[in-house]
Structure 1
Amino acid sequence: MRELVDEAMNRFDEARTDADAWLAPRLHATLRMTRGEAADPGLWNFLALAVAPDYVLWRHLPLGGTADDPKKVSGVRFVGPHYSQAFSRLWWTAEMFRDGSDYATAEIACGNQDMINTALRLSTIDHKPTALALVRVLEDLSREGATRLGDRVNALCTAVNVAGSTLMYEVIAPDDVPDHLALSDWIEEVESASAVPWDRLPEGPADGTARRSSCEVLTRMFERFAAEAPLRDRARSAAPQD
């Protein structure tokens, strides 16, 4: 764990948010565990407070502080919920957005801060085709050079979450049950596994990939959402309040 965070700080000191996409899949592949184990906040609190508090400060300390107005790291980065805590947010993003043993989609998701900060809060991404379809739309928007990408991601996530309360994505786009035995085998191999590679993505558990047909159905649906979802009116939100 220390080797990973030290390498991340060395590699990304000039662009610290870029460390998320590099560290998340490697953190997940190093800390091999079930979702139940990862739901224990004590683990993440220990990592942030005892193992690598310097990384939390390095990654989340706002820039530009002064002696009169020093910048501070929010306490939730140390002991907050899974979508805010410095290490938990990375592990869970890798878990929710990986496609079986392939972390490529998780790397894309972690490369966009709005995807981590917004999508990770949504219960709908428990459905793997939904999570992967979000990544596909994000990738397409990025490739097309879409303006206000962050606002578009937030608007898309809101639309997906609202629609999910009535559409039931599991019915529209069914998926297979994960192979829990393969996950258990992968976890048990941790003692003999090599350290994760630094210059290529590691391999996750081969517990099954999402149905491609379901991903395609939801991708087309989410593309419509992305095209129609209203963006935040920044001029209005920046106006002084009466």
Structure 2
Amino acid sequence: MIEKPHHLPPRLGLLSASAADPFLTEDLLKGVEGHGGVDLAKVVEPLSGDDPRWDVVQLRELVEDALHGFRENRTQADAWLAPRLHATLRLTRREAADRRLWTHLALAVAPDYVAWRHLSPSKSKINPERFKGALDRQCFSRLWWAAEMFRNGGDYSPVEAACANQDLIHSALRRDLIDHRPTAQALVRVLGRGVATTGREIEGLMTAINAAGATLVYDALAPDAPRDPEVLRRWVAEAETAPSVPRHSLPDGPDEEPVPEASVTALTDFFTDLFETAPVRGRA
């Protein structure tokens, strides 16, 4: 397995997909050998200002702890890392939508983690998308966005539950409906009931939910609490003085109003009933 880069950048930057391509060598994608990092640093666009969020020390420590803590089961690292990555790298959604940031994190700061997490005995090499791909496929952006979509205000426990199921986050992050907070929380509750568990069942349920959304207005069926943008701005601004995220308990997210319980309950019951007629491939 490849090692930690010899030249670790002190700060996050922006790395375009085209600039990253020469460094995605066959040896790196096969997990044989990484890159030194010096030449890579020459093609990185620095982030302006001295924002403490771009310091890579805490991020590097976080991925190393995940590497050591989940040696026996790599997929379990997602549920542990997602809330802690989100709470460490306090981004606005606009910032998090910039793929170049995630490409730099994956290729310059933690290529060894990407190789460890996404290279398996059944695959001859890592899919380049894990370094520079879409937000729902890239190694780190998929975790940050899963945490953003499934957190319940400042509570990250639904994120742990969602990320423990690879099929759910893969399917959910590809759909706009997950941006409706009661829907996200209801999905976690449905899985908790054991209603949909396999990949086919989850995909069938998501298809049914998406189709029902064409005729139902989920905002009317399960209204959400108003969100105060000032809360998120304050949380981002507090990054400079925030302590390192805890390793053995969940961190606290933005102090937003949680999703109304009545809305989550209503949608959980609705989705449970909807699953009975969901188009699950292979189900009689």
1:38-187 correspondence to structure 2 within 5 Å: 38-64=96-122, 71-141=124-194, 149-187=198-236
Assess if the C-alpha contact under 8 Å between 1:96 and 1:125 holds in 2.
Answer: yes
Out of 87, 95, 102, the position equivalent to 1:29 is 87
- What is the CA distance between 1:180 and its match in structure 2? 1.1
* TM-score normalised by length of structure 2: 0.76
Assess if the C-alpha contact under 8 Å between 1:60 and 1:73 holds in 2.
Answer: yes
* C-alpha distance in structure 2 between counterparts of 1:36 and 1:207, whole Å: 18
Amino acid at match of 2:98: D
* C-alpha distance in structure 1 between counterparts of 2:130 and 2:214, whole Å: 30
Match of 1:240 in 2: none
* C-alpha distance in structure 1 between counterparts of 2:74 and 2:276, whole Å: 31
* C-alpha distance in structure 2 between counterparts of 1:225 and 1:97, whole Å: 21
- What is the CA distance between 1:64 and its match in structure 2? 4.1
Query: Secondary structure at the residue paired with 1:141?
Result: coil
User: Are 1:19 and 2:68 counterparts?
Assistant: no
User: Are 1:199 and 2:248 counterparts?
Assistant: yes
Instruction: Give the count of matched residue pairs.
Output: 225
Assess if the C-alpha contact under 8 Å between 1:57 and 1:73 holds in 2.
Answer: yes
Q: Deviations over 1:18-73 (max 9, x none)?
A: 000000000000000111111111110110111101111110112146xxxxx111
* C-alpha distance in structure 1 between counterparts of 2:107 and 2:127, whole Å: 13
Amino acid at match of 1:87: F
Match of 2:239 in 1: 190
Match of 1:68 in 2: none
Amino acid at match of 2:118: H
Listed as ranges, the gaps of 5+ residues in structure 1 are 66-70, 235-242
Assess if the C-alpha contact under 8 Å between 1:129 and 1:173 holds in 2.
Answer: yes
Query: Secondary structure at the residue paired with 2:253?
Result: coil
Structure showing greater radius of gyration is: 2
52-61 vs 224-233, which moves further: 224-233
* C-alpha distance in structure 1 between counterparts of 2:172 and 2:238, whole Å: 31
User: Are 1:216 and 2:274 counterparts?
Assistant: no
Question: In angstroms, what is the RMSD of aligned CA positions?
Answer: 1.4
* C-alpha distance in structure 1 between counterparts of 2:227 and 2:96, whole Å: 17
Assess if the C-alpha contact under 8 Å between 1:141 and 1:149 holds in 2.
Answer: no
Query: Secondary structure at the residue paired with 1:162?
Result: helix
Assess if the C-alpha contact under 8 Å between 2:208 and 2:279 holds in 1.
Answer: no
Query: Secondary structure at the residue paired with 1:165?
Result: coil
Amino acid at match of 1:138: L
Amino acid at match of 1:141: G
